[in-house]
């Protein structure tokens, strides 16, 4: 999903518990072999509690407009409020959802989706046109959606977004109200996983009200839950959607989200029973609590397709110089940060792509290479014609984990390079805004994969000015290599292109990885069925509470 995923210390994430099932939802035999439904839930042997209200904590979502969402927080709410043609199960595999049948052509380039009978939360029928309209809306350059890249496997989708093709050239065709046909540029093995992020919108509602997604009384959705209350920076409340096509498997009547920024307070509320869950993926745990919770056997963790990384503003001196950027990157002691601050199994990252998707897991440089860092800094300053660095600032969003990492980086840069770095913390949305406007020198962010493949991370850096690349760095050679990877059917050649691209990225260093992240959380033992797939996305559809 994705825009930088790094909300409150969210890289502490959770894993899938136990998935429930949707009845009558058998995938077509022509769909990929891995497209299977979740196993039947334990409701058959375990009696759900009478009171089915889930109490969670979350950061404020940037948007509830499914076409504009590009961050993990918003994505969690959107997955609750909307339903796509396919949905991810607990193993991160795409399963039929609004689509009752999927036919795939022999050349793997044409997908024909048959829609089941389903409704919007206002009672309108969901049609193939709603999907086509929603997808084309994201691709329309006037929408300026940061999610447009997700649709690029579709024929002429990128060209349309870049103003080089017409709408009718895009490979999205409404055959009739119940049939949608999609043609791809190239065979794309992960297309159905990507399609779980392709949501419909109600065309009548969207066209009649520009602010349709901002208030409970105007937002219309088609997922397992509906929005009933949104008090900004205070709470969000969802209720079961009585019009949802698979409502019989939805057990939670309500989900109440607090918006508490302080992770210590969140954990206290969990310990007192006021919250059913504390930690990722839509909130965080106190950094100092990770070790004790782990030692007590309460902490649950798993690796996730997420990188925690730093941005350098490459148009702001001194970081216009690649050697100075590399000096700051090489001077970081990633092992120390992972082991002593993360404490939940984070893995040092000497590249950009997280280890779950990396084609070169050993990385592109040594961790904590202080001597090389000093040499590069001296060379870079000489090239830049300066004898003294300007004041260096590091921008991060408010959270306990991010604060500790910022302080560790500050100390490491002081000790290794003799550089004083000023720390600046801001709210998540303000930090994102500052990044997009280039109002920073070094900052932090992260990315959770839409699918577990190197290209999904490397493609973030293809455009110079975008919400996914706030470094303002650009390389034609880099873009050429990623585009070659898109079209290359031979896996070995494709992998070679991607490694070459990442090598360029690490040589010029507009970004540098800190660690590959994990899911980390604690939960009420009576809460079952909530799924978090290996990519780190949470789904409440099959959740329930035991008696």
Q: Tell me the per-residue pLDDT of 367-404, one tens digit each, with 9 for 90 and over.
A: 999 999 999 999 999 999 999 999 999 999 988 899 99
Tell me what pLDDT residue 12 has.
Answer: 31
Q: What is the mean pLDDT of residues 167-177?
A: 98
Q: Which two tokens stand for residue 430?
A: 């303000």
What sections of 296-369 are H helices per DSSP? 322-330, 334-337
In whole angstroms, what is the distance from residue 436 CA to residue 418 CA? 29
- Give the dihedral of Cα atoms 167, 171, 176, 179; nearest 10 deg: -150
* DSSP state letters, 114-162: EEPS-B-TTSPBP-HHHHHHHHHHHH-TTT--TTGGGGTTBTTHHHHHT
* DSSP state letters, 250-273: ---SEEEEE----HHHHHHHHHTT
Q: Is the peptide bond before 281 cis (omega within 30 degrees of 0)?
A: yes
In whole angstroms, what is the distance from residue 517 CA to residue 342 CA? 9
Name the one residue in this structure whose structure tokens are 């949104």.
Answer: 230
Largest CA distance in the chain: 73
Where do the CATH 3.10.105.10 domains begin and end in the chain?
Answer: 302-519
Tell me what pLDDT residue 448 has.
Answer: 87
In whole angstroms, what is the distance from residue 334 CA to residue 308 CA? 11
pTM of the predicted model, to two decimals?
Answer: 0.77
Tell me what pLDDT residue 482 has.
Answer: 95
Neighbouring residues of 412: CB distance < 8 A, sequence distance ≥ 6: 331, 332, 333, 336
Give the pLDDT confidence of 243-302 residue by residue, as tens digits. Answer: 999 999 999 999 999 999 899 999 999 999 999 999 988 898 998 899 999 999 999 887
Tell me what pLDDT residue 28 has.
Answer: 37
Where do the CATH 3.40.190.10 domains begin and end in the chain?
Answer: 53-261+524-545
Q: Using a pLDDT cut of 90, give the percent of the chain over it.
A: 77
Q: Is 82 helix (H, G, I), strand (E, B) or coil?
A: coil
Q: What is the mean pLDDT of residues 237-245?
A: 98
Tell me what pLDDT residue 46 has.
Answer: 55
Q: Is the peptide bond before 318 cis (omega within 30 degrees of 0)?
A: yes
Residue, of 504 and 40, whose pLDDT is higher: 504
| CATH classification code of 53-261+524-545 | 3.40.190.10
Least Cα distance to 536 among 92, 66, 148, 57 occurs for 92
* pLDDT surpassing 60 at residue 22: no
Tell me what pLDDT residue 250 has.
Answer: 97
In whole angstroms, what is the distance from residue 476 CA to residue 480 CA? 6
Angle between the 370-384 and 322-330 helix axes, to the nearest 10 degrees?
160
Tell me what pLDDT residue 47 has.
Answer: 62
pLDDT band at 49 (very low <50, low <70, confident <90, very high): low
Q: What is the mean pLDDT of residues 194-210?
A: 96
In whole angstroms, what is the distance from residue 185 CA to residue 176 CA? 23
**How many CA atoms lie less than 13 Å away from 262 in the CB half-sphere?**
4
Q: What is the mean pLDDT of residues 437-459?
A: 93
* pLDDT surpassing 60 at residue 27: no
The sign of the CA dihedral 458, 531, 104, 113 is negative
Give the pLDDT confidence of 3-18 residue by residue, as tens digits. Answer: 433 333 323 322 222 2
Q: Which two tokens stand for residue 267?
A: 């954990």
Least Cα distance to 455 among 512, 497, 393 occurs for 497
* pLDDT surpassing 60 at residue 447: yes
Q: Which two tokens stand for residue 545?
A: 């509470």
Neighbouring residues of 339: CB distance < 8 A, sequence distance ≥ 6: none
Report the chain's terminal Cα–Cα distance, integer Å: 34
Instruction: Tell me what the pLDDT averaged over the chain comes to.
Output: 89
Distances 406 to 7, 159, 187, 234, 398 between C-alpha atoms, Å: 15, 40, 42, 27, 11
**How many CA atoms lie less than 13 Å away from 30 in the CB half-sphere?**
14
Give φ, ψ of 229 to 5 degrees.
-160, 140
What is the β-pairing status of strands 179-183 and 110-115? antiparallel
| CATH classification code of 302-519 | 3.10.105.10
Beta strands (DSSP E) in 298-451 are 300-312, 347-348, 392-397, 421-426, 442-448
Residue 214 has what DSSP assignment?
A: S
- Give the dihedral of Cα atoms 132, 135, 136, 137; nearest 10 deg: 120
What is the β-pairing status of strands 235-240 and 225-231? antiparallel
Tell me what pLDDT residue 421 has.
Answer: 98
Residues making up the chain, counted from first to last: 547
Q: List residues bridging with 210 in a β-sheet.
A: none
pLDDT band at 51 (very low <50, low <70, confident <90, very high): confident
In whole angstroms, what is the distance from residue 220 CA to residue 327 CA? 50
Tell me what pLDDT residue 301 has.
Answer: 86
Give the pLDDT confidence of 73-103 residue by residue, as tens digits. Answer: 999 999 999 999 999 987 788 999 999 999 9
In whole angstroms, what is the distance from residue 345 CA to residue 136 CA? 40
Tell me what pLDDT residue 436 has.
Answer: 94
Give the pLDDT confidence of 330-369 residue by residue, as tens digits. Answer: 999 999 999 999 988 899 999 999 998 999 999 999 999 9
């Amino acid at each position: 999903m994705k825009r930088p995923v790094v909300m409150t210390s969210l890289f502490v994430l959770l894993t899938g518990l136990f998935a429930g099932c949707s009845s009558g939802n058998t995938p077509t035999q022509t769909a990929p072999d891995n497209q299977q439904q979740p196993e039947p839930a334990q409701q058959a042997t375990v009696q759900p509690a009478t009171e089915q209200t889930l109490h969670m904590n979350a950061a404020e979502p940037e948007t509830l407009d499914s076409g504009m969402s590009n961050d993990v927080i918003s994505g969690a709410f959107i997955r609750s409020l909307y339903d796509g043609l396919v949905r991810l199960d607990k193993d991160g595999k795409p399963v039929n959802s609004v689509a009752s049948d999927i036919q795939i052509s022999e050349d793997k380039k044409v997908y024909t989706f048959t829609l089941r009978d389903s409704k919007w939360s206002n009672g309108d029928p969901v049609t193939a046109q709603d999907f086509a309209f929603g997808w084309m809306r994201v691709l329309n350059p006037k929408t300026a959606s940061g999610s447009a890249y997700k649709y690029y496997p579709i024929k002429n989708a990128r060209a349309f977004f870049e103003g080089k093709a017409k709408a009718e050239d895009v490979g999205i065709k409404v055959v009739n109200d119940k049939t949608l046909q999609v043609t791809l540029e190239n065979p794309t093995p992960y297309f159905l996983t990507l399609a779980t992020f392709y949501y419909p919108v109600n065309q009548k509602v969207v066209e009649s009200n520009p602010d349709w997604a901002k208030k409970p009384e105007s937002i219309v959705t088609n997922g397992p839950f509906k929005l009933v209350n949104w008090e900004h920076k205070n709470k969000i409340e969802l209720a079961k959607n009585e019009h949802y096509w698979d409502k019989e498997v939805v057990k939670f009547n309500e989900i109440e989200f607090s918006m508490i920024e302080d992770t210590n307070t969140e954990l206290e509320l969990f310990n007192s029973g006021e919250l059913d869950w504390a930690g990722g993926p839509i909130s965080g745990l106190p950094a100092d609590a990770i070790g004790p919770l782990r030692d007590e056997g309460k902490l649950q963790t798993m690796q996730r397709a997420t990188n925690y990384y730093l941005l350098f503003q490459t148009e702001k001196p001194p970081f216009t110089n690649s050697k100075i950027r590399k000096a700051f990157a090489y001077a970081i002691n990633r092992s120390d940060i992972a082991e002593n601050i993360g404490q939940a199994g984070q893995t040092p990252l000497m590249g950009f792509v997280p280890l779950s998707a990396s084609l070169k897991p050993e990385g592109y440089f040594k961790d904590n290479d202080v001597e090389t860092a000093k040499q590069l800094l001296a060379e870079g300053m000489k090239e830049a014609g300066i004898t003294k660095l300007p004041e260096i600032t590091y921008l991060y969003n408010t959270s306990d984990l991010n604060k500790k990492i910022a302080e560790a980086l500050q100390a490491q840069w002081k000790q290794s390079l003799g550089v004083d770095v000023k720390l600046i913390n801001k709210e998540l949305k303000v930090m994102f805004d500052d990044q997009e406007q280039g109002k920073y020198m070094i900052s932090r962010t992260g990315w959770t994969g839409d699918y577990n493949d190197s290209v999904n991370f490397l493609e973030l850096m293809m455009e110079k000015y975008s919400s996914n690349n706030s470094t303002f760095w650009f390389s034609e050679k880099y873009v050429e290599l990623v585009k070659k990877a898109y079209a290359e059917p031979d896996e070995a050649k494709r992998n070679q292109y991607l490694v070459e691209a990442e090598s360029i990225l690490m040589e010029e260093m507009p970004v540098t990885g800190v660690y590959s992240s994990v899911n980390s959380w604690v939960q009420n033992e009576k809460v079952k069925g909530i799924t978090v797939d290996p990519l780190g996305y949470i789904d409440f559809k099959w959740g329930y509470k035991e008696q």
